[in-house]
């Protein structure tokens, strides 16, 4: 998707280097990446992203570099195993992929995408599937004016992750959560905690009582809240505020005994049945990084409607269905 590669695209554009995008716009059969998956290939030879997890990237790189060298943008069909020798087994995900290979969008589309991603504002991005492969944007699909076959991706605001308690675990969680494309807000009313300097620059560390902050910044259905302070005066206020709204994941750190005490304190809280505690999947980890991974893994599972068991023990599709784009 565009969000995954856009920092790379924007950095090269600001440096004056052309970039070609290869986008997965169709597929006949199973695959490891969703429609809209994107590779960005720069004129200096570097690249980011993937279309198949590794099966066709070499072929696509050659095609993208040809466009960088002056070949016409086009839609091409590639299949995992196209570069194998006749006696070599093709991968199981051998369906044909339709890939649009075109220069990265010019202005004003580039700036519109950059601003929308930076500000977490929704934006609909269209690129034509026939020459001249024109790019355009609009606030919604219904406002697009270009006609003809196209691939359309709807950029949406990222769901937030609220970490209540500016603790060492919160700092590790904030760092790992950056790769999930979730903006992180760390809330703590204690001045000494918010001034620790332990948090990555991508996290918004705010000195505030969590319930008061949530009242000013209502949560959405995909937002998540995790309480980490171990101080009931802080955590309970956050949980009551979060459970009263639509947040999709509300969890609390602590032992089973601690959680039992918490449930007794919050017995009258609306939405208490949605509270997850102790937070995290049962990974058995002990370090801060392992604990953070456990919590984020549960968050991803809940967000995708999964239970978080071992893949080898299940029979559901490995990846939850997403609607990244449409033609």
* CATH value at residue 247: 3.40.50.720
Helix (H, G, I), strand (E, B) or coil at 23: strand
> pLDDT tens digits for 234-290?
999 999 999 999 999 999 999 999 999 999 999 999 999 999 999 999 999 889 999
Residues 176 and 273 in one domain: yes
Residues 34 and 80 in one domain: yes
Residues 68 and 97 in one domain: yes
Domains identified in the chain, total number:
2
Residue that terminates a domain, selected from 118, 138, 155: 155
Judge whether 323 lies within some domain. Answer: no
Judge whether 326 lies within some domain. Answer: no
Residues 9 and 135 in one domain: yes
Q: What is the pLDDT of residue 321?
A: 62
What's the whole-number average pLDDT of the chain?
90
Taken as a whole, the chain contains a residue count of 327
> pLDDT tens digits for 47-76?
999 888 666 888 899 999 999 999 999 999
Q: What is the pLDDT of residue 323?
A: 46
Please classify residue 172 by burial: count the beta carbons closer than 10 Å to its beta carbon, then call 0-12 exposed, 13-18 middle and 19+ buried. buried
Q: Please calculate the CA angle 188-192-198 and round it to the nearest 5 degrees.
A: 80
232 — pLDDT class (breaks 50, 70, 90): very high
14: containing domain: 2-155
Judge whether 321 lies within some domain. Answer: no
Residues 169 and 305 in one domain: yes
Judge whether 222 lies within some domain. Answer: yes
Residues 146 and 192 in one domain: no
Residues 24 and 64 in one domain: yes
Please classify residue 286 by burial: count the beta carbons closer than 10 Å to its beta carbon, then call 0-12 exposed, 13-18 middle and 19+ buried. exposed
Q: What is the pLDDT of residue 85?
A: 47
Residues 190 and 95 in one domain: no
Find the helix packing angle between 232-243 and 256-265, rounded to 10°: 70
Residues 167 and 114 in one domain: no
Residues 44 and 185 in one domain: no
Judge whether 46 lies within some domain. Answer: yes
Judge whether 318 lies within some domain. Answer: no
Residues 217 and 263 in one domain: yes
Long-range own/partner contacts, residues 74-79 (CB < 8 A, 24 or more apart): 74/100, 74/101, 74/102, 75/25, 75/99, 75/100, 75/101, 75/129, 76/101
Judge whether 327 lies within some domain. Answer: no
Residue that terminates a domain, selected from 138, 155, 172: 155
> pLDDT tens digits for 100-145?
999 999 999 999 999 999 988 999 999 999 999 999 999 999 999 9
> pLDDT tens digits for 39-48?
999 999 999 9
> Does pLDDT of 87 surpass 50?
no
326 — pLDDT class (breaks 50, 70, 90): low
Helix (H, G, I), strand (E, B) or coil at 206: strand
Residues 13 and 132 in one domain: yes
> Does pLDDT of 8 surpass 80?
yes
């Amino acid at each position: 998707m565009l969000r995954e590669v856009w920092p790379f695209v924007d950095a090269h554009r600001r440096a004056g280097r052309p970039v070609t995008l290869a986008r997965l716009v169709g597929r006949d059969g199973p695959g490891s990446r969703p429609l809209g998956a994107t590779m960005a290939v720069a004129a200096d030879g570097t690249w980011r992203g993937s279309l198949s997890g590794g099966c066709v990237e070499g072929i696509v790189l050659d095609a993208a570099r040809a466009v960088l060298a002056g070949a016409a943008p086009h839609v091409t069909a590639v299949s995992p195993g196209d570069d194998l020798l006749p006696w070599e087994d093709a991968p199981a995900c051998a369906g044909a992929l339709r890939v649009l290979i075109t220069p990265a969008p010019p202005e004003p589309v580039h700036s519109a995408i950059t601003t929308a991603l930076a500000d977490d504002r929704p934006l609909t991005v269209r690129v034509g599937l026939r020459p001249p492969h024109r790019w355009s944007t609009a606030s919604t699909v219904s406002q697009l004016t270009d006609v003809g076959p196209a691939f359309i991706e709807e950029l949406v605001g990222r769901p937030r992750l609220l970490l209540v308690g500016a603790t060492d675990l919160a700092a590790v969680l904030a760092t790992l959560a950056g790769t999930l494309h979730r903006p992180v807000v760390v809330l703590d009313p204690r001045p000494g905690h918010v001034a620790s300097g332990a948090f990555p620059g991508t996290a918004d560390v705010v000195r505030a009582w969590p319930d008061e902050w949530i009242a000013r910044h209502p949560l959405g259905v995909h937002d998540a809240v995790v309480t980490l302070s171990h101080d009931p005066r802080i955590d309970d206020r956050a949980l009551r505020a979060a459970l009263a709204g639509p947040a999709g994941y509300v969890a609390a750190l602590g032992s089973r005994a601690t959680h039992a005490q918490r449930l007794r304190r919050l017995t009258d809280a609306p939405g208490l049945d949605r509270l997850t505690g102790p937070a995290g999947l049962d990974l058995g980890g002990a370090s801060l990084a392992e604990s953070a991974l456990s919590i984020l893994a549960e968050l991803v599972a809940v967000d995708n409607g999964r239970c978080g068991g071992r893949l080898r023990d299940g029979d559901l599709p490995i990846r939850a269905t997403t609607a990244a784009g449409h033609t």
